[in-house]
Amino acid sequence: MSAAMHQRPTSATADPAYKAGAIALMLAVASIIAAFGFQYIGGYAPCPLCLMQRYAYYAGIPLLFGALVLVATDRAGWAAALFFLVALAFLANAGLGVYHAGAEWKFWPGPDTCASVSQTLGGGGSGGLLKQLETTRVIRCDEAPWTFLGLSFAGWNVVISFLIFVAALQAAFAASATNTRRRMSEI
């Protein structure tokens, strides 16, 4: 093998792990911004499963950022571990999205909590309860409030989570290869 094959890219942004990780980070950030936009600007209140699907983004975004910092500071081994952890989180999130979309398409029942009025209502006695029953809109997990190209929010989350999974996994493998090359050059 030539010496050129063992050299690191001239900048962190040229590193394949950095590129794939940056793509994963941009997809994740754009997705959570879109989710908040649909919620707060579009008026689409999230159901309990929708909120659960956001956990991967809440954890994944800072982990992806940290992994990119590790790649940039030549700590590819640790970066590979973080990228792999993020990939697993988004693979699980894609699975949760499949479950949610399946409930919307009536392939299987959704969780009982998604149709429960008791989750959306607080205490306050029977008078307060009746008042809340009149004004509270239950957000159901088994009804798609919006679709685009035949996919609901949950369906699009499956697609995007899978893309983030692929990008994060590619970043993990690239960072691992960089780490292996670095270790081999030290021998």
**Which residues, 6+ apart, have CB-to-CB distance to 157 below 8 Å?**
31, 53, 93, 94, 97, 100
Q: For 77-95, what is the mean pLDDT? A: 95
Q: Print the domain residue range for 180.
A: 15-111+143-186
Query: Which pLDDT tens digit goes with each residue over 27-65?
Result: 999 999 999 998 899 888 888 888 899 999 999 999 999
Answer yes or no: is 128 within a domain.
no
Query: Which pLDDT tens digit goes with each residue over 116-137?
Result: 444 444 445 555 666 665 665 6
Answer yes or no: is 125 within a domain.
no
Answer yes or no: is 98 within a domain.
yes
Answer yes or no: is 124 within a domain.
no
Query: Which pLDDT tens digit goes with each residue over 103-116?
Result: 888 888 777 777 54
Answer yes or no: is 94 within a domain.
yes
Number of domains in the chain: 1
Answer yes or no: is 122 within a domain.
no
Answer yes or no: is 133 within a domain.
no
pLDDT above 90 (res 142)? no
Question: How far apart (Å, rounded) are the C-alpha atoms in residues 60 and 40?
Answer: 22
Answer yes or no: is 49 within a domain.
yes
